[in-house]
Every structure is written in structure tokens, then in C-alpha cells.
Structure 1
Amino acid sequence: MSDLRDAAMSSKAWPFEEARRLLKRYEKAPPEKGYVLFETGYGPSGLPHIGTFGEVLRTTMIRRAFEVISDIPTKLICFSDDLDGMRKVPGNVPNQEELAKHLQKPLTSVPDPFGTHESFGHHNNAMLRRFLDTFGFEYEFYSAREFYRSGQFDEILLRCAEKYDDLMKIMLKSLREERQQSYSIFLPLHPETGRVLYVPMKHVDGVKGEITFDDEDGREWTLPVTGGNVKLQWKPDFGARWAALGVDFEMYGKEHATNEKIYDAICRTLGERPPNHFSYELFLDDKGQKISKSSGNGISIDEWLTYASTESLSYFMYQKPKTAKRLFFDVIPRAVDEYHQQLRAYEGQDAAGRVNNPVFHIHNGDVPVSDMVVTFSMLLNLASASSAEDKAVLWGFINKYAPDATAETHPGMDAAAEHAVRYFQDFVKPTKTFRAPTDQERAALEDLGKALKDAEFALDLIARKNALVGNEDPLPEVDYGDEEFLQSIVFAVGKVHGFEPLRDWFTAIYEVLLGASQGPRFGGFVALYGVAETCALIEKALAGELSVG
């Protein structure tokens, strides 16, 4: 066994923990079907949201982790329940009045409100596949409409008819008494209207594989359960699909966790072994509400990619899948910077460290080298201080720090600069609020500006600070290109002017000079933005020439 496999077998990274659990499923013999099957589900009742993408990404991470520790082949199916009836019109699509005429019809029978595809279900399926293809996922796409109509599901549907009473017992235990009276695991598709009917069964013939029911007008119908004439209610459909496909692993949001025993019981009653599960916490929008396909709240994949890389989104999805996370625009800068921190750490790690590093799972072990010579957060502050309209302005600052860097040699840096300008223009600029300094802050800023021009004055400030804190170290070498020297000046000014706690001094710098409540390590900012430019910024603030909120 390789060093990598050895490390993976003891790794505490959650993809490897789940992969090892899955491997135990076949510790006695490999699967008869010849591969381990991973599945993710999608309900195309609304436009795909970022949570759907996260489910596929996380499943893929576990799949790849499994492939590190096992030689058993794997497959991933993305299953769309596009035969589901449209219960309500989503609030974030056009032509809502037209859609309202097709309530309860299967999503693949509802006209596409965007006018680009055969149906609303086809449109949403295409969007999902585009999102998944953008990230290079390897998967097979399954449509419930084709699955039911093609005959692939017939054997299990006939078994559902045969085991109808047993399956109903499982389901009725979970329902209120009122719901029990009309419930059936089978939902007929009306032969004339095509609508999905929620009606009780008058008779289920397990031998013939037929159901008899009255439609909403009181007319009696008898239909075979095969050939796309019926679909299963969503809970039985979960378990039946597992049985039909031989699914070995499926993850889903915590709203499904309470139904896990039902899904498993359905699958077992149909004679098959339920898969391993993984329940993840939900994503929340900026107001703490669950993100939803129908309401379109939160942030979309396309929106994230407007302001940051695909890898930063993958990093965000990797982190703590069992913890609810706020998914809105202000999480992007941190995700970008933490992703690159992990890239830099990866280079010096051994096998054990690497398999626990998120970037191993993001890149399936083929981890690139970070070319971010300036953090994304710093780029945002540079954009803010300079009111940057394009990335060329930021490259002017970047080249002070890394003179040889270019867009060609550092494509990731170049993309980040463009993303930072967009993010600044859309989110930072509209909320920038400068304030006037207090008397204490004004005096401190005056001294900071003077120290950035006068080395002797700067060293005197540092000496006074050292005396205040009992530091007997020698004074630093004067180097206005060194961010550590610059930071020592900033720190000394705050101490000499009596800011307590010292963070109040840094908060003042950010609010007075940058129009924000927090910001970068200021010595590093000065090194990049420029000493002369910083002095000019201080002078403008003290003269009241920055917009004061």
C-alpha cells in the first residue's frame, strides 16, 4: 500500500472518514454490479441553486477519496425528479401567469417560461448540467421521466405493486390521520390532462401490476404501474430508486434526515440493501433563512464566479459540511484567501498532512501552486483606497511588491485582481462611509504621516513605544519598503498616543482612511499602496477631502 493510501486510511478529513465507512460495506466481497454507485438527487421545481452544486461536489470528494483507498470502480449518477408535479409557480421566473395554468403537471410537461427548452424541467436540467460541467464533474445524468418511461424502473414498480400493503404500512405510520385516508405510494398521471393526481387507490392488483382509482371528477380509471403511467410519492421514490439502481451512497440535507428510516425501510421491503448516508447542514442567506430554489435567495453559482474562482467556491463547500453556513457575498473574500493559504501550506506537508488539507480534495490530489502574491483582502483594500475602476490600477500596486509578476506568469493573480475590482464596485464602494477623526485620532494620524516621511521621527516614536512597554530590543533598520518596519511605525504611533485597547487605533485608521470598519495589516497595506500615496491619503482625510458619512 502506498504512503498516500496509508495516510488516507488514518486521515480525519471527512471525505476519507465517509470513504472508509463505505469500504466496509464491501469488506467481504466486491459489489456484484462491478462498481460502487454514488447518487445525488435534484428536484427541478426551481432554478438550480448553489446548494445543489455543493451536494454533487461533496459527493465527488467522497467518491475520489474512496478511489484512493480502494480499487473498486465507481460511478456517480445525478438523478433529476423531473416527473414531479409543479405544486406552485416559482417566484423568480418570467411568464408566471402562463405557468399557473400548468399546476400539478410534471415539470417536463410544463412549458419553459424562458422559451429556450422543451419544458421547464428540461430547462432546469440543462442549467444544472451546465453548472456541473463548468466544474468538470464526472457523472451520468438520469431523468425521472426517462427512467419511468423507458422501463428501467418497471421491475421495481411491479415489486411495489406486489408489496403495496407492506409499503403502505411503512408510510402510514409517518402520516397524520387525515392524510392517511387519501394517501397512496402511487401517483397516477391522468391519461387525459397529464396532471399528477394525489388520489387514494380503490384497488392495487399486485399480480397484474395495475392500479384502480377515481380521478378528481369521479371517473374510474385502471392503469398499469409501468410505462410512465404513474410515479411514486417522493419518500417511496427515494427508497425505490435506491433499490432499482443499487445505490451505495447518497448524501442529502438535514431536512431528509428524519425520513432516513423510511427510505431505508422502503428499500429493504423491495429486497435491496439501503445505501450509506451522509446528512449535511443547510445553507442560509444573509438573513439567516434557508436558501431555496423557488425563492432564489442566497447566492447563485454564477454570482459567486463573478467575484471569485471556482476553487474558492469548492473550498467553501468543503468546510464543515455538518455545520449550517451563511452563504452570501461577504463570505467570498475569506474563502479566497483561506484557499490560497492552504495551497501554500500543501507544498511543505507530508502525505499525512496533505490528505487532511482541503485542497487535496478540491483538486483530487493534483494540487497547483498558488500564484497569489497579494491576498484578495488586500486587493480589496487597495481597490478601495484607489477607487479602482479596472485591474490595471491594482497591477500597479502588485508590481511594487512583485516586480516580475505579470498577467501571463500569474494568471490566478490576474483573475483575482479583476474579481476584486468587481467586488469593490458592487459591494464595497456603495457601503463606504468615511468619518472625521477625533482629536486623539487626528494627532495620531498627523504623527503617522510625519513618521512615514521622516526616518528620525519614526525611530524616535519606536523608541518611545519601547520605553512604554519595557522593550529593550535595539531599534529596527530603517527600510520604508519593508512592511515589518512600516508596521512597527503604525504600532508605535498607537501606543504613544495612548489607544487602549490598541485595536481602537487600527479601527480608526480603517474608518477614517478607508471608509470601512475593518481592514488589512496596515504595514502591508502601506508597502503595497505606497508610502507617498499613504501620506497623501492621510492628508486628504485630515483636510476633510474624503467623503464623510
Structure 2
Amino acid sequence: MADPEQRGLAQSAKAWPFEEARRLQERFANKAPDKGYVLFETGYGPSGLPHIGTFGEVVRTTMVRRAFGLLSDLPTRLFAFSDDMDGLRKVPDNVPNPDLLRPHLGKPLTAVPDPFGTHDSFGAHNNARLRAFLDRFGFDYEFQSATDCYRSGRFDQTLMTVLQRYDEVMAVMLPSLGAERQATYSPFLPISPSTGRVLQVPITHRDVDAGTIVFQDEDGRTVEQPVTGGHCKLQWKCDWAMRWVALGVDYEMAGKDLIDSVRLSGQIARILGAVPPEGFNYELFLDDSGQKISKSRGNGLSVEDWLAYAPPESLSLFMYQQPRRAKRLYFDVIPRAVDEYLTFLEKYPNEAPAARLENPAWHIHGDNTPAADVPLTFGVLLNLVGVAHAETKDVLWGFISRYAPGTTPDNAPALDRLAGYAVRYYQDIIKPKQNPRAPTDVERAALEDLVATLEALPPGADATAIQNAIYEIGKRHPFAQLRDWFKAMYEVLFGQSEGPRMGSFIVLFGVAETIALVRDALTRE
């Protein structure tokens, strides 16, 4: 049970997961639904591997669930639902043995052989990848398979309701379709008894009492077949609504591209006698050029890409921030996300209880928010990698141990991991684009002043004193703005337009070493 004071503060917290959780709370007025718990759901199409959108949807839903748990004592569950009854539409480009799949196009994914040879079907293989993917991040969820739900009879009662209210469902769907699609559309997609494929064919007759539909099979025969027991599935908007009703889903979010689908599925859910789930529509990601990310174009950043260069919590933070705004998702956003995460983590222990609930660290970790034990920013480490020509994190530790005596990889594992990320990120992302330039005359004079200032520093000068001295240099020279002085240092010394807090960097790298770095830059023509 939540602490009463913390629960009271949550009622007025402005963070978006609390806003969502309060809407969900109003749905029940603290009275549990008939099924005994509040159900959150996320969906997954297992025709491909889990991707960054899958992660984003599960982590954001988990944040709302965590906020709801602070507001209410009602039990909650999270279903990760796999639409593995969908027919295989095309052979993916990234699988082995593609010829194995081609004869099975159109069949449910759980009836298609596994090209990897590790599972009973392609759907089962990708479902296993989904579970491993979610387990990797420690998500608390229950896996659900559409195939299991259809074949076990779990959906039967609701499927019968769809059959009974067929005309009402059609009245919702037909206006959303083109003329050609309207001519053949049916909510029911029978599974062909002759080929095993998911068929998009007209339904010529319905028998509500018998619970059957009649259609023409691929071999030309007229077939009467039950709508229950896995003999058919539903078109996806109807399927989504049916699932909400059959499982009793209370909360599910979706991308902005599905706003119309959410609306139509909500109407169908009401026709089936249920209230659609709460939820919201999040914005989609853009690439570095501001174009929508597309799996087919390959212009996105994968979870694996991100985790090669940064801790998973930084990705969770990126997902938390401004979910209703389209954000650029590319390699250059990673360092800022890491340092913002470290900043929020550092602030958390000293914040008032109300402020903690607004801190993204709480929404990432809950009340188990870890202590911040990283005394250096990711940005500082990246620049250190460059100037120290480090190809392994062991080189960085030579500087780190001098900056923070007594700190070792064993007693500062988070810092050690961050050092490893920094080496990889610099070598793979920054170094190929790095291009230090020669200083202008104004910049040259200021850099010479920097050398003289550093040489005159008293032994043991701290980062603040050095930073203040650097500010004064910028004021003494004719820069239009003080930030132009810092930008000049970053471009001349590091070959990039942004960089670290120079006082901290110089203490870490060393005064003598920095003087040598500046002198070397001054020789650049």
C-alpha cells in the first residue's frame, strides 16, 4: 500500500504518467472491475523482431502503471499481446532460408515454419524474441498469444457477439473503406481448410444460431465454418476491439498514426457492449533530417544501436520526455540523454517528496531509484577519449583515478560501464566526423591567454576556479557572446561545436596536458 502522503502528492503531480493514471482512476472510482484487476495492454506484430517502438510503448505503459499503483490499491496486470494469427504478408529481408517461407505466405505466423530452425513456427520464434527483449529490461508483464486465445476458445464468446452484431460492425467499418474494399470486406477472415491461409473473402451467409459463416474457399468449394475455435480471425480494427472486450483491457496507448483506428475500434467495442480502454496517442519518431522513421527505409535507430553506446535507463528517459511531441531519434541525441539521466538521478535524493514525483528518475525506477555514483558526465568522458586517443576504457581510468582518488572499476561499476560506452561512441560516431579547425586571429589570442592562465594557476586549483578563469578570458577578448568563446574552444580543441564544462574537463585531463593540447592546436594552419 502506498504511503498516504505520497499518494496525496500524486493526486496533483503534473508529470504525464500521473495525468494518464488519474484518468484511469476515474474510470473505476477505486472499485475494482468485475475481473478483479486493472488491465494494461501493449500490442506486438511478430512478423519482425521487436524494435524501438515496441520498447517505447512498453516502457511508457509501465510508467503509467507505476503511477496508477501509487494512486490506487487496485491490482494491475500488463499483457504483452502478440498478433501472431496474422497472415505472413511478405518474406522479411533479414531472415535465413527465405525460400522456406515463400510457400507459406498468407498463413498465420504460428503456422509458418521457423527459418531460424529454433522454434515450431516463425511466430513462435519472434514471440520468444519479444519475451527475451522485454525480459532484458526487467519489465513486469504477461505474454499473450492471439493464436492461443483464438484456438483455446478464450475469444469465442466475443466472436459470437461480433457475429450477432455483424451489421452494426459493418456500418462502422464500411464508410472508412474505398469502394473496391467495401465490395469484399467482412470483419471475419476465415482460415482456409484447404490451404491454411488467412482469407480476405466475402462472407455469403451467416448463421448466428449455429455460429458459422459461409464463404468460397481457395479451391472453389463453398465452405461453412465456425467463427469460433480458431477457424477464423478478425480484421485488425475489429480484432483490436474484440480483444479489448474479451480480455477486459482498461488501458492501451498507440501511435499518432493509429488515431483513426483507435476511434473505429472504440466504436466497435461499444457495439460489443463494452467501454473502450483509456489511453493516449504518442507522436512518432523522426530521423536526423526530420523525416518519419520507417523500417522499410531503414532510417531509424534500433534499441541495439542505442544500447551499444549508452545505458538502457537513458533510452527510458528519452521515451519519457515529451511523448506527444515528434522527436528526432538518431545517434547525436544519445550523449545528451545520458547526461540528462545522470542529472535527474543526482537531484533525486535531495528533492522534496512532491518534486521527486516530477523527476523522470522516479518514473524510470519508482521508489527503487538508485544512488548516483558517476562523478563525471558522459560529455566529459567523450572528450577525454578524443584528446587522450583512448581505444580502451583502461586509458580513461588512468585519468579518472587521478581526478577521483580511490575510485576504481570495482567500486564504481556504473562509471566503468559509462567509460566503456564513451570509448565506443567516440570511436564509432564522433571520430569519423571529427574535424578540428585552425583558430581565427581573435581565437588564437584567447587561446594563448588560456595557456598563460593555466600556467599561472596555483597547484590544486579546482574545477570551479578554472571555469571562472576561463569565463574571464572570454570577457577579455572581443567575442560577440561568451558562448562564442566556448564554441571556439570546442571546435578548435575537439573538432565539434559542443563540448564539456571546461573546468571539470581540465581537472580530469590535467592542467599540463591541457596546455599541451592547446599549444598543439595553435600550430594548426
Structure 1: give runs of 5+ residues left out of the alignment: 456-477
Letter in 2 for 1:309: P
Match in the other structure for 1:177: 179
Matched, 1:542 2:511: no
Match in the other structure for 1:449: 451
Paired residue secondary structure (2:308)? helix
**CA–CA distance in structure 2, aligned partners of residues 431 and 116 of structure 1:** 41
Paired residue secondary structure (1:442)? helix
**CA–CA distance in structure 1, aligned partners of residues 285 and 92 of structure 2:** 19
**CA–CA distance in structure 2, aligned partners of residues 531 and 28 of structure 1:** 62
Offset at residue 245 of structure 1 (A): 0.6
Paired residue secondary structure (2:104)? coil
Match in the other structure for 1:232: 234
1:499-549 Cα shifts (integer Å, max 9, x gaps):
2233332222212211212211222211111111111112222234xxx8x
Offset at residue 98 of structure 1 (A): 4.2
Offset at residue 156 of structure 1 (A): 1.1
**CA–CA distance in structure 1, aligned partners of residues 477 and 496 of structure 2:** 22
Match in the other structure for 1:503: 483
Note closer, same or farther for the CA distance 1:534–1:506 as it changes in structure 2 (3 Å cut).
Answer: same
Moved more, 209-218 or 149-158: 209-218
Moved more, 487-496 or 412-421: 487-496
* Equivalent residue for 2:497, pick from 517, 522, 529: 517
1:299-336 Cα shifts (integer Å, max 9, x gaps):
22222221111211111111111111222221111111
Note closer, same or farther for the CA distance 1:29–1:450 as it changes in structure 2 (3 Å cut).
Answer: closer
Match in the other structure for 1:375: 377
Structure 2: give runs of 5+ residues left out of the alignment: none
Letter in 1 for 2:383: N
**CA–CA distance in structure 1, aligned partners of residues 330 and 412 of structure 2:** 28
**CA–CA distance in structure 2, aligned partners of residues 370 and 99 of structure 1:** 49
* Equivalent residue for 2:16, pick from 14, 17, 25: 14
Moved more, 5-14 or 480-489: 480-489
Letter in 1 for 2:522: L
Matched, 1:494 2:474: yes
Note closer, same or farther for the CA distance 1:222–1:294 as it changes in structure 2 (3 Å cut).
Answer: farther
Offset at residue 294 of structure 1 (A): 5.2
Moved more, 286-295 or 276-285: 286-295
Q: Please, what TM-score do these two structures have when normalized by structure 1?
A: 0.91
Note closer, same or farther for the CA distance 1:396–1:213 as it changes in structure 2 (3 Å cut).
Answer: same
Paired residue secondary structure (2:202)? coil
**CA–CA distance in structure 2, aligned partners of residues 339 and 99 of structure 1:** 43
- Asked whether the equivalents of residues 87 and 107 of structure 2 are also in contact (C-alpha less than 8 Å), the reply is yes
**CA–CA distance in structure 2, aligned partners of residues 525 and 185 of structure 1:** 63
**CA–CA distance in structure 2, aligned partners of residues 326 and 77 of structure 1:** 29
Match in the other structure for 1:459: none
**CA–CA distance in structure 1, aligned partners of residues 453 and 239 of structure 2:** 71
**CA–CA distance in structure 2, aligned partners of residues 288 and 398 of structure 1:** 38
- Asked whether the equivalents of residues 49 and 292 of structure 1 are also in contact (C-alpha less than 8 Å), the reply is no
Paired residue secondary structure (1:369)? coil
Offset at residue 484 of structure 1 (A): 2.4
Paired residue secondary structure (2:80)? strand
**CA–CA distance in structure 2, aligned partners of residues 516 and 151 of structure 1:** 60
Aligned residue-pair number: 523
What value does the CA root-mean-square deviation take over the aligned residues?
1.8
- Asked whether the equivalents of residues 131 and 301 of structure 1 are also in contact (C-alpha less than 8 Å), the reply is no
* Equivalent residue for 1:396, pick from 398, 412, 418: 398
Note closer, same or farther for the CA distance 1:95–1:291 as it changes in structure 2 (3 Å cut).
Answer: farther
Letter in 2 for 1:226: T
Offset at residue 28 of structure 1 (A): 7.1
Matched, 1:405 2:407: yes
Moved more, 2-11 or 429-438: 429-438
Paired residue secondary structure (1:10)? coil
Q: Where in structure 2 are the equivalents of 1:5-154 lying within 5 Å?
A: 5-27=7-29, 29-154=31-156
- Asked whether the equivalents of residues 8 and 16 of structure 1 are also in contact (C-alpha less than 8 Å), the reply is yes
- Asked whether the equivalents of residues 160 and 228 of structure 2 are also in contact (C-alpha less than 8 Å), the reply is yes
**CA–CA distance in structure 2, aligned partners of residues 204 and 49 of structure 1:** 40
Paired residue secondary structure (1:93)? coil
Paired residue secondary structure (1:493)? helix
Percent identical pairs in the alignment equals 58
Structure 1 consecutive aligned stretches of length 4 or more whose deviation exceeds 6 Å? none
- Asked whether the equivalents of residues 91 and 295 of structure 1 are also in contact (C-alpha less than 8 Å), the reply is no
Q: Where in structure 2 are the equivalents of 1:463-478 lying within 5 Å?
A: 478=458
